[in-house]
Amino acid sequence: MRLRRVLNYALRDEKGSFSIEAVLMFPLLVWAFVAMYVFFEGLRESNINLKATYTISDLLSRETGLIDETYLEGINDVYGWLSRSANPVSMRVTVVRYDEASNRHIRIWSRGIAGREDLTQAEVEEKLTPHVPIMADADTAIVVETWTTYDPLMDIGLVQTEIHNLVVTNPRFSEQLMLEGLGDGGGSIHNDGTDDTEGL
């Protein structure tokens, strides 16, 4: 009977030790704090990369002369510096023209930097067209895509994530951004979206 009373008392007793509860909850609180920091650090990295992509797109939109491969490689280095990424960065620049008759965007030229592949006309229609607005007939647009990776500072369940941004800009002071040897008048663009410089 005495044992039963002791057990009943223990079950009904609502008193507790704050220090024991704190010890039990402290690891969870630390994990929650670290998880929030890592999560918001990822958002910050994503925001920085998006702003860097907008800056690169704005630089390209102001070009009035021919650009070349060296210029694009330098622009990729500028993107890496602006994004302050500890991981390798890469980008792709694609110039498209809107054709009102066929209601589609025609690839003029595309160049990938730091290992990225150039886009074909079929890939432009598949990957870029959903993101490029309808423009006036024969208007051109510069599509800048950038990539980097985000490594979480601590293992909280997040894995290494690729950060991909896409920004579309119209040329500001010229009809078209021209790449030396491609899309500068050296190849003819056909109505079916192919060109004479497809293999360049």
pLDDT at 193 > cutoff 50: no
What is the CB-side half-sphere exposure of residue 115 using CA atoms within 13 A? 5
pTM, to two decimals: 0.76
* Residue boundaries of the structural domains of the chain: 17-179
Residue 12 burial (CB < 10 Å; 0-12/13-18/19+)? exposed
Partners of residue 105 on adjacent β-strands: 98
Output the average pLDDT for the chain.
84
Coil, strand or helix: which one is 97? strand
**Token couple for 149:** 């990776």
CA-nearest of 124, 141, 120 to 195 is 120
**Per-residue pLDDT tens over the stretch 129-152:** 999 988 999 999 999 999 999 888
**Per-residue pLDDT tens over the stretch 36-48:** 888 888 888 899 9
pLDDT at 115 > cutoff 60: yes
